[in-house]
A = this chain, B = another copy of it.
Amino acid sequence: MRIALGQFDAHVGDLAGNVEKMRSMYEQAVKQNVDLLVFPELAVCGYPPEDLLIKRHFIEDNLLAVEKLAKSCPDITIVVGYPGLLDGRIYNCAAVLKNGKIEDVYRKGLLPNFGVFDEQRYFKAGDEPVMINIKGVNVAITICLDIWDSNWLKDFLADCNPIHMILNISASPFHVGKIQKRLSAITQCAQKFNAALCYCNNVGGQDELIFDGRSAIADSTGKIRCLAGAFEEELLIADLNLSGENNLDIQQVSPVSSQPAGDIEEVYKALVLGTRDYTRKNGFKKILLGVSGGIDSALVTSIAVAALGPENVIGITMPTRFNSAETISDATKLAENLGIEFYNIAIEKIVQQFHSSLKSIPGWDDKGTAYENLQARIRGTLLMSLSNQFGALVLTSGNKSETAVGYATLYGDTAGGFAVIKDIPKTLVYKLAEFVNSTREKPVIPKDILTRPPTAELREDQKDTDSLPDYDMLDEILKGYVEQDKSAKQLIESSFPKEVVRKVITLVDRNEYKRRQSPPGIKITPKAFGKDRRLPITNRYCSFNNEP
């Protein structure tokens, strides 16, 4: 039996486009004599469709799309994900298409409702297994979370015997370390059933989420025998033939894809894919961003160029008297190295004009936070004006450390459509910048940018460390507080200074309102700001009331 796992970028809401993509993979599969062609979870509508699922006409349109796919692909058995209706309730379904028709429907049993997932908002859980037989191979169909609890699955499939292969269609989002967890879940499940496991994942960027593909096939000992490419579409083809003792002999047919060399390359590829997909799927051709001469915007500019090509990236530097000659010159060098369109708009006169209009208001002065933020908001306004004029998407350059503690100006440096490195802690920003340079013969990010102490340049001689702890410590505290939900007590007990912990936690809590109005960005950690972490703005809880 020959199987093909059609790992493709299902665009949310683009039912016709997704069907067309699947039909074109079907044509390749026919040429290769495939018996069973598999597409990801909710491949017909993309994942996650969120509240589109509440629109009844959306569900009806999905059924029409599945029927159209069945009709246009009659010669191979296909398993494909879609949201389907039964007795007035919506299920997360896998349709089995055969001879131009929907032959059977499996309904997902375990519905994730944690982290970025809200499936119990939409779906009822299914309670009936579906088995198909392809050339003598008995296949149990499952969807995503179903295989992550192999004890549950063993009970669920208790009456299905023999099972030669578990088929799983997924839309499993990326974060650093997820691939290890995922492969380990696959291995464990294959071992539990002493059966092969074929796993077909979604790929592509969807708002905050990246789906990394890496569809896989494990043999009945749990060993991963085939692994599709990361962050790209691919048709993974393999032969699965029954040998003695009901086990399947597995042979990969399509060429083996290369895999990212490590975490840094993995994150870099996720950021490039996420930026490209957000831009293109939202109808933009060009990107616009502020280039300050600092490390964050240098990294984001490099990612933008990798995602869309230098011809589609416009950099703007907007100095005041607080910007040093060095940073302006570094911004210019970076733009030259990357070969992007680049403009310098000095904003000193605009700052002065605001100041003269505001000085009539009692209490206004040109020192302090208000005046610093003003500069950032003028830059945001300029970028948005140019965005409106040119129809270009504005990228922001705030990293996770700044986003966490609110070291950013709302409607200033947070102004833009997409926050590429929103989930990248500052310490990882440096590693990614070094990685970018390592991929080129000649470094594109000037060395000074990598070595200069971080500064917002909103007043004379400002340094980030005037307001914040060292990033090494800050990032460790943030990991504990934001990603691991540790209390102040736990953090202090694990040796961070009490005053620093208090300060950081207070800043994180107090700046929820800024994050709520910030653009979406790419999730690469186990817990990102966004759908992953839903805290009230109005919130008086303080975890150091009970500290040691």
Contacts and interface: CB of A to CB of B under 8 A. Distances in A.
Contact of A411 (B52, B278, B350, B381): B381
Contact of A386 (B48, B347, B358, B388): B358
Contacts of A389: 361, 363-365, 368, 370
Interface residues of A, number: 92
A30 interface: no
A543 B386 contact: no
A374 B385 contact: yes
A390 B415 contact: no
Count of identical protomers in the assembly = 2
Interface stretch (A7-15, A31-39, A102-110): A7-15
B489 A57 contact: yes
Contacts of A513: 282, 417, 519
Interface in A119-154: 120-121
Contact of A536 (B56, B207, B347, B369): B207
Contacts of A540: 11-14, 17, 281
Nearest to A374: B385
Contact of A541 (B12, B121, B381): B12
Interface in A454-502: 485, 487, 489-490
A173 interface: no
Contacts of A541: 12-15, 45, 49, 52, 58, 61
A370 B16 CA distance: 34
Interface in A274-321: 277-278, 281-282
Interface of A: 11-17, 45, 48-52, 54-58, 61, 64, 113-114, 118, 120-121, 205-207, 277-278, 281-282, 343, 345-347, 349-350, 353-354, 356-358, 360-361, 363-365, 368-371, 373-374, 377-378, 380-382, 384-386, 388-390, 410-411, 415, 417, 485, 487, 489-490, 513, 516-520, 533-543, 545-546
19 contacts: A50-B534, A51-B533, A52-B541, A55-B543, A57-B489, A57-B543, A58-B541, A118-B121, A281-B538, A282-B537, A282-B538, A350-B350, A350-B357, A354-B382, A364-B385, A364-B389, A377-B411, A380-B411, A520-B537
